[in-house]
Structure 1
Amino acid sequence: MAAMDPAFEEKATPRAQSVEHDVIFDEKAETADYKAAAILAENAEHDMTVLQAVKEYPMASFWAFVISCTIIMESYDVFLIGNFLALKSFKRKFGVYNPDFTGPDDKYVVETKWQSSLQVSGQLGALVGVFLAGPLTTRVGYRWATLIGLMLLNCFIFVFYFAQSMPVIFAAQILEGIPWGIFIANAPAYCSEIVPIRLRAPCTQMLQMFWAIGSIVVGAVTFSYHNIDGPTAYKLPIALQWMFPTPLAILIFFCPESPWWLVRKGRHEEAAKSIVRLGRKSRVNPDDSVAMMRRVVELEKSEKSPGYIELFTGTDLRRTLIVCGVYAAQNLTGNLIANQAVYFFQQAGVGDNMAFALGLITSALQMVFVMLSWFLTTYFGRRSIYLWGSAANTVLLIALGVAGSVGGGNAANLAQASLGLIVSVLFTLGPAPASWVIIGETSALRLRPLTTGTGRAVYYIVEFPCIFLASYMLNPLSGNLGGKCGYVWGATGFVCLVTAYFFLPEMKDRSYREIDIMFKRKIPARQWKKMDIDINADS
């Protein structure tokens, strides 16, 4: 090869330097341009009222509603298993005869080992599902991950429907739990990503409302069939699970992918199209919104691919611990009384008809109280509602224990049943719906699918021993504590309350940029509410 002319080298070098300088200048100019647009978009979100946000992003609210419907399926089955433990036909098919049982209407009871195993089986499968959800969603997105889960659930319901023994029911519940894990990990993250700041609370709280809807459907079905002899009493409620997955799959096939997920993948044009689909074309500025998302993604940028180890390093450790703590607390503050409401009412000395009726009333009231919580969390903040709700819950649980300790009689039984109902309902006014908002807002965007999945995994890990403990305390063949279980849940609830007071920050009205910066600055939880973050700050 001929040597390069030195004269050419001398001329080429300044030109190459000029080109390099132009490239650097263009990159800086582009960064300045999208940062200016990002500031406009963030200020616009802060300036919105709730009503303006609904008007400008009506389809975002609709798609959050649709994705939240997936929670009905886990709720339906969790409450179904709880009601089956009190269902006469189910107990006669799968339970044992106990002549010494002092229950109100029946001498059959499901053994403690199977009572606990059935309660925990779906959660075992969901534990697998939540760990699958993170990598799956990171790779294919929220939309396709949810569709895969729905199709799997359609198949696994067959196993449950045709089961003729406890081991097969146990296996069926594990299989059904896998797609539940995908739904429960993805739904809060997707809802929090597709709506503006003002709608994050009500849209993520819809998850708790659909949890209540699942329990209402179960309560209505089992109340209608609990006096029927034969397998129809429990077969039909199982078959009704098929009414959810296919219609939801059709709707979700047409839903837009999260624009935040698309920006993380560098697909900015698709993200802009997604934003247009979520809002009114005449009112939204997709370019500014994409710029705002790019700014936050750049703040969190890392050369490493998102991984589980990263959740437990640096500032992300604090965020992961908050999500895990809030999830774990749901099982330690009396939530399991709500999940086994009908069975709890029976063990409190209430007859079958009244127990199933109270279970249905509890579920209906839970739905109403979740809707009331939208206003509370929107105007009073997440931390305030969570702390005051947890404090009230703890007091009521101790009162339940006292009611269970004062002796027998109709008055004591009614007091236990009433307090059990109040605990179950008030839980859905404060701690439960606020938890979903906190979970959706706390995690870093690039790690969100992994964080929500890990948090839900902790929920199930804590739930396993709690289920066995709850079953032991309520089962007449074991602890037979009835309302005195309130002492136990009151104590654990108090520990959760104290922990939340010191470590749970207030993220109301904060953009994801502000939340990132405040975690990086290591601001103590109780100081978040009064901190002011400059709109130009990136660290």
Structure 2
Amino acid sequence: MAPKSSRHRKHNKTAPVEFASMSESMLQETASGAGYRGAARGKRIAAMSSEKAFASEKQEYDQHVENAAALSAANAKTLKDDAIEAENAEHQMTVLEAVKAYPMACFWAFVMSFMIIMESYDVFLIGNFIALPAFANKYGVFDVGSNKYVIEAKWQSALQMAGQLGALIGVFLAGPLTSRIGYRWATLVGLTLMNATIFVMFFANSLPLFFVSQLLEGLPWGIFIANAPAYCSEIVPLRLRAPATQVLQLFWAVGSIIVGAVTYVYNPRLDSSAYKIPIALQWMFPLPLMVLMWLAPESPWWLVRNNRDEQAKRSIERLGRKSQLNSPEVVAMIRRVVENEASTKSPSYIELFKGSDLRRTLIVCGIYAGQNLAGNLIANQAVYFFEQAGMTVNFAFALGLITSALQSVAVMLSWILTTYFGRRTIYLWGTGFNIVMLVALGIAACVPKSSASSYAQAIFGLIVSVGFTLAAAPVSWAIIAETSAIRLRPLTTGIGRASYYIIEIPCIFLGSYMLNPTGGNLGGKCGFVWGGTALFCWVVAYFYLPEFKGRSYREIDIMFKRKIPARQWKQTVIDVQDDE
């Protein structure tokens, strides 16, 4: 039976060919024997056969297309259902449940946030060097009024802005670099550069060389500060976005504590070891962090953006407990957002200034710039400020160390405040409080100089520094991480940080000039200046800063596309089925 069946299939398969051959011969015979009418009749017979064959093939093709479309629609519906399920799960999680479900995500966010400690350490180190007797005696000029050596105002400003200038270049490199090779590899590149540039600072023997060393160290800072908030916000669930990004401010405070402790110990020394040893201690950070980042998972959002869904699933499984999450559903949620933002073009800086992305870019840039205009510079120059307020050198260093410790506690309290009260609320109330304290600082400085007025200035300066790290500073990191579109996030955080440095560099010159006895010698009266700039930030934030608390990235995308006014975000409801 098998051979017969085989022959039968072969016959059927070749029948149309034989029929076509017979039709052609019939046409030739008819044309020669019966003339034109016979030929036309033969052509009609062949045409009818051809039409039937074509109709049959077309029907089969249409059925295939219909089946494929139905399958695609079913798959799309399944993926959307999975995405909705994952998003609803994140909304329903409490903070404690999110920590239990994603313990390793918390750990890796902690590791990435630790990168900021290197910038913090060096920024505060240079600020403390200005007040360090051994450094001032070596590189300063004698000031008759204070009867001691001081670093000239121009060099104070230059040394403190050099790192920021290098970081400004670094953040512009970070965006394209991260978009291409990912957060993990970009961070490893930055750590390698950091190891190398510390050598330049350690062997510097003049102020110009210190300037160059700070400029070079700033390059990896730019990579760290651009990538850290974006990476932290992408690897944790919705409820942990604020705490995970606010850890950055904690490590900024930790960096200042380490510097304060080190310089306090070495402050009495009058030889080069007073500043050489604190410089060398920078090497304790990069190598351990390189090992950890080599082991770290890549952001699943970056992997999905680059069509590496299987790797994204594995990354999610490394970040959370398999028993408490469904990695395919989480990938479907990410895919849904990525496809809503899809574009045929590669991400570029030009896109940041088009359509709804322009508004998002301006918010990120404004929040970053506002960090320098609402008390940050007093916090960064705390030790020098306390000296100019009339404190002794040793007491100024001790007070600076106390300030840094209080800042760490304030950052941890901000996790609770931001989680329960939201970003916009804490930013406005925190900045408003700092405005009052800065004006009070200026008033205290207007009182005739006495020990009471000096202590009052020191207290108000301390309150401003701690208040800034309780509200405006840590909440800024959450806002920065959540505002940008997923597709453009590395570029947005990069250009946002660039705005920070663009504002900070002239503010450093201004701040140093106002405090320096060879410059404006304003002391605490600078509170009036920073109080005015902080008031400007508060007014702009009141009208333009939305509330991101409890919003998924899909909801944030939709609300920006619908151009919902900032003050209406809290009351706006976005349906779980909406895609825009």
Short-chain TM bin: over 0.9
**2:13 match:** none
1:304 aligns with 2:348: no
**Residues 313-328 of structure 1 aligned to structure 2 (within 5 Å):** 313-328=354-369
Q: Compute the displacement of 1:9 (Å).
A: 4.3
Letter in 1 for 2:151: V
The counterpart of 2:304, out of the listed 236, 243, 263, is 263
Name the counterpart of 1:225: 266
One of 96, 101, 113 as aligned partner of 2:145? 101
Tell me the equivalent position of 1:404: 445
Question: Which deviates more from structure 2 when the two are superposed, residues 25-34 or residues 44-53?
Answer: 25-34
CA positional deviation for 1:163: 0.3
Taking the TM superposition and a 5 Å limit, the aligned residue runs for 1:126-205 are: 126-205=167-246
Percent identical among aligned pairs is 66
Structure 2: distance between partners of 1:453 and 1:30: 37
Shift of 1:97: 1.4
CA–CA distance in structure 2, aligned partners of residues 22 and 158 of structure 1: 66
The question of 1:71 aligning with 2:101 is answered no
Q: TM-score, normalised by structure 2?
A: 0.91
Matched, 1:448 2:489: yes
Residues 54-84 of structure 1: CA deviation (Å, up to 9, x unaligned): 0010000000000000000000000000000
Q: Equivalents in 1 of 2:390, 2:419: separation in Å? A: 40
Mark the runs of 5 or more structure 1 residues left unpaired by the alignment. Answer: none
Shift of 1:6: 4.3
Q: Which has the higher contact order (CA 8 A, sep 6+)?
A: 1
1:423 offset after TM fit, Å? 0.3
Q: What one-letter code is carried by the residue in structure 1 that aligns with 2:251?
A: F
Tell me the amino acid that sits aligned with residue 515 of structure 1: I
Task: Report deviation, 1:30.
Answer: 1.6
- Taking the aligned partners of 2:331 and 2:303, their CA distance within structure 1 comes to 10
Structure possessing the higher radius of gyration over alpha carbons = 2
Q: Deviations over 1:464-511 (max 9, x none)?
A: 110000011001001000000000000000000000000000010100
Distance 2:186 2:211 in 1: 25
- Residue type at the aligned position of 1:151: T
**Alignment map for 1:402-481 (pairs within 5 Å):** 402-481=443-522
- In the other structure, the counterpart of 1:20 is 65
Residue 17 of structure 1, CA deviation: 3.0
The Cα offsets for residues 78-108 of structure 1, whole Å up to 9 and x where unpaired, read as: 000000000000001111112x232xxx610
The one-character-per-residue Cα deviations of 1:347-396 (angstroms, maximum 9, x if unpaired) are 11110010000000000000000000010001111100000000000000
Q: Whole-Å Cα distance in 1 between the matches of residues 561 and 352 of structure 2?
A: 14
**Which residue does 1:39 correspond to in 2?**
84
Unaligned segments of structure 2, at least 5 residues = 1-16, 22-48
Superposition map of 1:500-511 within 5 A: 500-511=541-552
SS at match of 1:445: coil
* Paired AA for residue 242 in structure 1: W
Alpha-carbon distance, 1:18 to partner: 3.0
Whole-Å separation in 2 of the counterparts to 1:129 and 1:9: 63
Match status 1:486 vs 2:527: yes
Once the two structures are superposed, residues 384-441 of structure 1 have per-residue CA deviations (whole angstroms, 9 ceiling, x without a partner) of: 0000000000000000000111121111111111111110011000000000000010
The alpha carbon displacement at 1:10 in A equals 4.3
Could you tell me how far 1:12 is from its partner in structure 2?
3.1
Distance 2:200 2:394 in 1: 30
Q: How much is the aligned-residue C-alpha RMSD, in angstroms?
A: 1.4
* Shift, 1:281, TM fit: 1.3
Q: CA deviation at 1:31?
A: 1.3
> Helix, strand or coil for the counterpart of 2:469?
coil
Report the secondary structure of 1:428's partner residue. helix
Distance 1:337 1:272 in 2: 45
Rounded Cα–Cα distance in structure 2 between residues aligned with 1:450 and 1:23: 38
- Could you say which residue in structure 2 is the equivalent of 1:386? 427
- In the alignment of these two chains, the number of paired residues is 534
